[in-house]
Chains A and B, each alone.
Chain A
Amino acid sequence: MPISQHLRRPESRTAHRWIGAVAFGAASILVLAGCGGSGGSGDSGSASQTLTFGLSAEPATPITGMQQGGAVNQLLTMVHRGLMTYDESGAVTPGLAESVDTTDPTSYVFTLRPDLTFHDDTPLTAENVKNSLDYYRDPANGSQLAAGLKDITDIATDGDTVTITLAQPNTAFLQYLALPFAAIVPDASLNADTPNWVGAGPFEMTDLEQGIGLTVEKSDNYYDADDVALDSIEVKFYPDGEARTNALLSGDVDMIEYVPWENFQRVSDAGLTVDAQQGPFQYVQFNVTDGPFAEPKVRQAVAYALNRENAVLAAFQSNGAPLNGIVIPEDDPAYDPAAADLWSYDPEKAKELLAEAGYPDGFSATLLSTSQYTFLQDNALSVQEDLRAIGIDVTLDAPDWSTRVSKGNAGEYDIAVSGDAGVVTDPSYLLNWVVDSRNFNVGWGYSNDTLRGLIEEGLRSSDDDAKRDIYAQVAELWAEEVPFASINTREQAYAYNDKVSGFETLPGFLVFYSSLNLAHASVE
Chain B
Amino acid sequence: MLFFILKRMAMGVGLVLLVLTLIFSALQLVPGDPAVLLLSTGDGGAPSPEAVEKLREQLGLNQPLLTQYFSFLSGVFTGDLGESFRTSQPVLEAIGARLPRTLMLVVFATVLSIVIGVAMGAIAARRGGWVDTLVTALSSIGVALPVFVFGAVLILLFSITLKWFPAGGYVDPSKDLLGSLASLTLPAISLAVGFAAQIARMTRSAVLEVQTQDWVRTAKSIGLAPFTVFRRHVLRNSLTPVVTVVGIGFGTLLGSTVLVERVFNYPGLSSLLVDGVTTRDYPVVQGVVIVIALLFIAINIVVDIVYGILDPRVRRA
Contact = CB atoms under 8 A, between A and B. Distances in A.
Interface of A: 1, 3-4, 7-8, 11, 14-15, 21-22, 25, 28-29, 31-37, 39-40, 57-58, 60-61, 66-71, 139-144, 146-147, 192-193, 195, 210-212, 236-240, 242-244, 246-247, 249-252, 280, 370, 372-373, 376, 399-403, 405-407, 409, 418-421, 423, 432, 437, 439-442, 512
A420 B152 CA distance: 31
B275 A11 contact: no
A211 B267 contact: yes
A201 to B, nearest CB: 21
Contacts of B289: none
Given A402-B32, A405-B32, A419-B44, A210 B263 contact: no
Interface residues of B, number: 72
Interface string B40-64: 1111111111111111001000000
Interface of B: 30-33, 36-55, 58, 86-89, 94, 97-98, 115, 119, 152, 155, 158-160, 162-170, 176, 178-179, 181-183, 185, 222-224, 228, 231-232, 262-265, 267, 271-272, 275, 278-280
A33 B165 contact: yes
Contact of A4 (B45, B58, B160, B224): B224
Contacts of B31: 399, 402-403, 406-407
A252 B168 contact: yes
A15 B36 contact: no
A295 B271 CA distance: 46
Nearest to B116: A25
A372 B43 CA distance: 12
Contact of B178 (A35, A238, A250, A280): A35
B224 A37 contact: no
Contacts of B231: 11, 14-15
Contacts of A210: 87, 89, 94, 97
A400 B278 contact: yes
Nearest to B87: A61
Contact of A376 (B42, B159, B263, B264): B42
Given A22-B115, A243-B167, A66 B39 contact: yes
Nearest to B168: A243
B15 to A, nearest CB: 28
A67 B163 CA distance: 38
B156 to A, nearest CB: 8
Given A252-B168, A402-B279, A211 B272 contact: yes
A70 B94 CA distance: 24
Contacts of A60: 38, 86-87
B163 to A, nearest CB: 6
B54 A7 contact: no
Given A32-B181, A142-B48, A246 B43 contact: no
Contact of A22 (B30, B119, B182): B119
Q: 7 smallest A-B Cβ distances: which pairs?
A: A402-B32, A69-B41, A420-B44, A142-B51, A211-B267, A36-B182, A142-B54
A441 B44 contact: yes
Contact of A421 (B43, B158, B167, B168): B43
A405 B160 contact: no
Contacts of B42: 370, 372-373, 376, 401, 419
Given A70-B41, A250-B163, A405-B32, A141 B115 contact: no
Contact of B222 (A3, A31, A36, A40): A3
A400 B280 CA distance: 11
Contacts of B47: 66-67, 142, 144, 439
A210 B98 CA distance: 10
Nearest to B119: A22
Contacts of B97: 210-211
Given A141-B54, A400-B278, A441-B46, A67 B39 contact: yes
A211 B223 contact: no
B276 to A, nearest CB: 11
A57 B278 CA distance: 12
A252 B36 CA distance: 34
Most A-side CB within 10 Å, residue of B30, B40, B53, B185 = B40
A437 B51 CA distance: 14
A443 B53 CA distance: 22
Contacts of B183: 36
Nearest to A370: B42
A405 B179 contact: no
Given A15-B231, A36-B164, 6 more contacts: A25-B115, A66-B47, A69-B39, A70-B41, A401-B37, A439-B49
B169 A409 contact: no
B48 A29 contact: no
A212 B169 contact: yes
A31 B115 CA distance: 18
Contact of A240 (B39, B165, B176, B263): B263
A280 B37 contact: no
A346 to B, nearest CB: 28
Given A70-B41, A246-B160, A252-B167, A146 B271 contact: no
A280 B45 CA distance: 11
A238 B265 contact: yes
A250 to B, nearest CB: 4
Given A29-B185, A144-B48, A372-B42, A192 B160 contact: no
Given A4-B223, A35-B179, A39-B179, A146 B263 contact: no
A1 B55 CA distance: 83
Nearest to A403: B31
7 contacts: A37-B162, A236-B169, A246-B159, A405-B32, A418-B44, A439-B46, A441-B45
